[in-house]
């Protein structure tokens, strides 16, 4: 008789839309790391609530971070906007969008 092995098929870890959590983990370990980031963001008019909400936006979510706040995050973590994204942005070429738009 064959031995049955149960496999742990737990839920897959959700993927964030932005790499904010990865960038936080990449910072040097020290006390109050998150607190210092939040204080720095307050100087740029980004609230703590916005920061915690933004760092946990899932990839399949329709939510996104406004461009001005993305620029602040890129400046705080010293990365480019492309490095902050965890996904590619789909944009229609300008010529195709003009063809499908009715003329006025």
Tokens (6 digits) for 98 = 């003009």
pLDDT tens digits for range 11-32: 666 688 888 888 888 887 776 6
Tokens 């916005």 belong to 50
Average pLDDT over residues 88-99: 61
CA–CA separation, 37 and 26 (whole Å): 13
pLDDT tens digits for range 27-81: 877 766 778 888 888 999 999 899 999 988 988 888 889 989 999 999 888 888 8
Provide the 8-state DSSP code for 2.
P
Of 75, 76, 55, nearest in space to 65 by CA: 55
pTM (whole model) above 0.75: no
Please report, for the chain, the start and end positions of each structural domain, with discontinuous segments joined by +.
Answer: 20-84
pLDDT of residue 71: 92
User: At 82, is the pLDDT very low, low, confident or very high (cuts 50, 70, 90)?
Assistant: confident
């Amino acid at each position: 008789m064959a031995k049955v092995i149960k496999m742990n098929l737990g839920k897959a870890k959700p993927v964030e839309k932005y790499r904010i959590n990865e960038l936080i983990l990449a910072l040097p370990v020290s006390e109050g790391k998150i607190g210092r980031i939040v204080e720095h963001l307050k100087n740029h008019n980004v609230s703590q609530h916005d920061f915690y909400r933004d760092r946990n936006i899932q990839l399949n979510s329709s939510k996104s971070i406004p461009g001005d706040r993305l620029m602040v995050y890129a400046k705080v973590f010293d990365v480019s906007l492309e490095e902050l994204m965890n996904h590619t942005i789909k944009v229609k070429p300008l010529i195709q969008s003009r063809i499908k738009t009715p003329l006025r």
